[in-house]
Amino acid sequence: MDIILVTTIISSLFLVIGIAEPLADRLRVPYTVILAILGMAIATAALFFLRTDLTNALNPMAEAILGLPIRSNVFLYVFLPTLLFQATLGMNLRRMLDDWVPILVLAVVAVVVATFSVGYALSWVSALPLAACLLVGAIVSTTDPSAVVSIFRSISAPQRLTRIIEGESLLNDAAAIALFGLFMGFVMLGVPDPDLGNALAQFPLLIFGGALTGWLAARAAVMLMSWFGRFELAQISISVALPYLAYIGAEQMIGASGVIAVVAAGLTLNLTGPSRLPPQAWANLREVWDLLSHWAGALIFILAALFIPRLLEDVRLSDFALIAVVIVAAIAARIVVLFGLLPLLTLLRASPAVNRPYRVAILWGGLRGAVTLALALAVTESVRVPVEVKRVVGILATGFTLFTLIVQGTSLRWVITKLGLDRLSPIDEALSRQVVAVALQTVREDVARTTENYDLTRDIVRSEAKRFGERLDDAVKEAEESADILDRDRITLGLIALAGHERDTILDRVRERTISARMAEQVLTDSERLIESARTSGRSGYQRAAKRSVTYGRSFRLAVFLHNRLKISLPLARMTADRFEFLLSQRLILRDLDTFIDGRIRRIHGRRVADLLQELLSRRIESVETALEGLRLQYPGYAEELERRFIRRTVLRMEEREYDTMRDDGLIGAEVYTTLSQGLAKRRSAADDRPRLDIAPQRTELVRQLPLFADLDDATVKQLGRAFQTRYVNADDVLIRKENAAKRVFFIVSGAVELQVAGQTWRLGPGEMFGQMAILMQRPRRAQVRAIAPSTLLMLDEDRFRRLLQRSDALQHAVRASAEKRGISPDRLMSDVKEATPPEATAG
């Protein structure tokens, strides 16, 4: 085929892609529907001009369009890895992990239910073998969420709902293509009724083999990209090679799923890339992949649509009945998942509650697209598939895709309107009126200053001021009419706005590079969690999310176990350094939110709501300070090193801003600017390196800082450092329960605990101990102790505590004071100790 002709066609397709998006927006239909219609129109026109005698001038062009060297392997090996890889890079994985249960269950179960629902329905009403029917079910079980997601975003649907749909779609593509490969093998081998047990037994190799291949490929790519720190284009080029090499390696070398390999590679790069690459390089890499994905998604749709007229050439009247069966079975399977499985997951608290209108929108928005057509095309191209099976599979897959695009796609926005999902809630509507009134009042003040500064004509100013004043009066009147918003709702809206401003502040700090990209991802995740928790549960949800941000997670506690029991310290050192940096970053960000509350929140929601938000913010700052203080006590000097690093980053950012200003003002030329920027980049690279945290001496240092052990010599302190065990607890964790046997004494390094015994309550803070009374009195515990803040504790067993008590006057004094506070005779208690302690224990 003439290269000039092919180039002309491809460039013309890019022109069609450029026209399709604004056309879809104007017609208010999904973008993919317009692409499919345009692709079918081009193919139909080409067939018409090729077969008509009206003109022969366009025959070469028509033949070139219909004879493009595009086969199914181009879709599967060129376009599909691009789409999957970009989708994983665009995900917020920390938030995805919050919803991994509904995403995984919906993706895998939905594909299996749809595959077998369609497959068995077809086998009952057609002469096709069961393997071919299940193959059709696998082909039509993939969903393209782009239409429903774009509409959900335009109507401000809950982010969590959108995230679940995106995650489900990504994983159900992988599961559907894996099932397609299995059933395609049976069809090509001529096995009419496959043994499903043996088929499913191959799944572990497909899934885990693909995941391992993708992970290894991504780790190697990240290592290579980190070596080329100053060569941004080289890093982007390596990222472009990664999904294709992972896909081909998994498919051709070990027989695993290439789709799973691409997804695993993208997830690994998403998790490790921000911390290993410069922020600007990572941002540019994401932008490049967004563009590649846009082109790939459009081309795969429009090229697949070119084959639709050809796939439907041999359609028969009886085929329409089979298409109807596929439609009914697929929709029924989707109904089972959305209205049966999803509510069940909600009852089990494994999934967020999804309102019925949203479930209806998801049902009707389950469009099929290019992946379905590409898989159908792969069947029709195979020489080992029977001719009749190829014909029926191509027609059914194409007919079902056209139904979802033309019928569901074009009516999706109408359905959403009928469901009322495109309207603001009464609270949001009332809030919008108040926001308009406040904004217009601010604008009036700014305009008045502007007219004075520029000495404009008074008549013009007066007439425009009158016009603007009328609009302002109307806005104020509407705001007063809607002033009956409940305080509870105002608090919720204020918390959402506060968390949104927190997110914007984080993004500004990341752009200025005063916060590392690694920490930015975590603090951004927390801010998004705050927004959604406030939106769904109001004040209590916001407080739970804020509390979660400073708690010790399971992974941290596992790292502590590895350090204490197995002497594996690397995970704990890394997580502790991350926690240090995260708390410092969060403290800096929270201190910037006061101005926002005093300015915007107070003007829109009033003084009472602003004061309450100020109180909630103060509690967050206090909890962060408490958690940070615990780390400072354990690792003195490390927080100061991180603060020095922050100052260096801030200075470098200011220096860079000065160089940019001088260049823009023409004070320095391009050569000088480049030289200065290179020197700045070297200093920034050094400032980005986080200081190493040595956790080896932590317990010894903690012992030295506790007043109870101030009278001990250095040798005893070192022995205690080896004897103590460290325990990290979160607020509300129960540390001691009533009637439990007394085995340990606890010393509070940081945080606070609450002790309840005999109807009385005491609060203990840093430097105090608890648990000693039950040991000294040799009876079961009568108190219950719980943490009331994230706390760091040191634990000592009974024998060591008794020996320590004999040699420490300060500890004896503390025990006496604690006994007096609880109404116990300290002299009797200490005499019991001396009598119960053997001579060798007192000797040390």
Give pLDDT tens digits for 235-286.
999 999 999 999 999 888 888 888 889 988 988 888 788 767 777 788 888 8
Q: Of all helices (H) and strands (E), which one includes residue 757?
A: strand 753-757
Q: List phi, psi (to 5°) of 240.
A: -70, -35
- What does the alpha-carbon distance between residue 619 and residue 599 come to, in Å, rounded to a whole number? 20
**556 within 8 A of 728, measured Cβ to Cβ:** yes
Query: Which alpha helices (DSSP H) does 252-341 contain, by range?
Result: 258-276, 279-306, 308-311, 317-336
Position 841 scores a pLDDT of 37
**Which 3 state secondary structure label does DSSP give 680?**
helix
Q: According to the model, what pLDDT value does residue 588 have?
A: 82
Q: Nearest Cα to 732, choosing from 752, 711, 716, 748? A: 752
Q: CB within 8 A of 10, min separation 6: which ones?
A: none
Strand order in the sheet with 784-787: 734-736, 784-787, 753-757, 760-764
- Sequence-distant (6+) residues with CB within 8 A of 557 are 728
DSSP per residue, 731-755:
TT-EEE-TTPPP-EEEEEEES-EEE
- ∠ CA 746-750-751, nearest 5°, is 95
Q: How far is CA 384 from the centre of its chain?
A: 43
At 41, list the tokens: 């129109």
At position 703, the amino acid (one-letter code) is V
- Chunked into runs of 10 residues, the chain (844 residues) has average pLDDT values of 76 87 81 81 80 70 74 78 82 69 78 90 88 89 69 63 74 79 79 64 76 92 83 90 92 84 88 76 86 84 76 79 91 89 81 78 77 81 82 86 83 80 67 67 67 68 72 66 66 82 80 71 78 80 86 82 77 83 84 82 79 89 83 75 80 84 83 82 75 69 74 77 81 81 83 81 83 78 82 84 80 78 65 49 33
The CA distances from residue 447 to 160, 433, 710, in Å, are 40, 21, 66
778-817 exposure pattern, b = at least 16 Cβ within 10 A, e = fewer = eeebebbbbbebbbbbbbbebebbbbbbeebeebbebbbe
Q: Which residues pair with 744 in a beta bridge?
A: 797
pLDDT at position 719, please? 78
Q: 524 is written with which tokens?
A: 């951004």
Return the SS3 of 359. Answer: helix
Closest CA to 344 of 93, 115, 109, 98: 109
For 27, the 3-state DSSP assignment is helix
Host H or E run for residue 246: helix 232-248
* The predicted structure's pLDDT at residue 332: 92
- In terms of Cα–Cα distance, which of 420, 401, 366 is closest to 146? 366
Q: Cβ(210)–Cβ(257) under 8 Å?
A: yes
Chain centre distance of CA 596: 26
Q: What is the DSSP string of 763-830?
A: EE-TT-EESHHHHHHTS----EEEESS-EEEEEEEHHHHHHHHHH-HHHHHHHHHHHHHTT--HHHHH
The kind and range of the H/E element at 728 are strand 725-729
Q: Which two tokens stand for residue 321?
A: 């009945």
**SS3 label, residue 401:** helix
pLDDT at 117: 92
pLDDT at 476: 64
Using DSSP, state whether 254 is helix, strand or coil: coil
Phi, psi values for residue 757, rounded to 5°: -155, 135
Cα–Cα distances in angstroms (integers) from residue 85 to residues 117, 242, 282, 433, in the given order:
30, 9, 15, 42
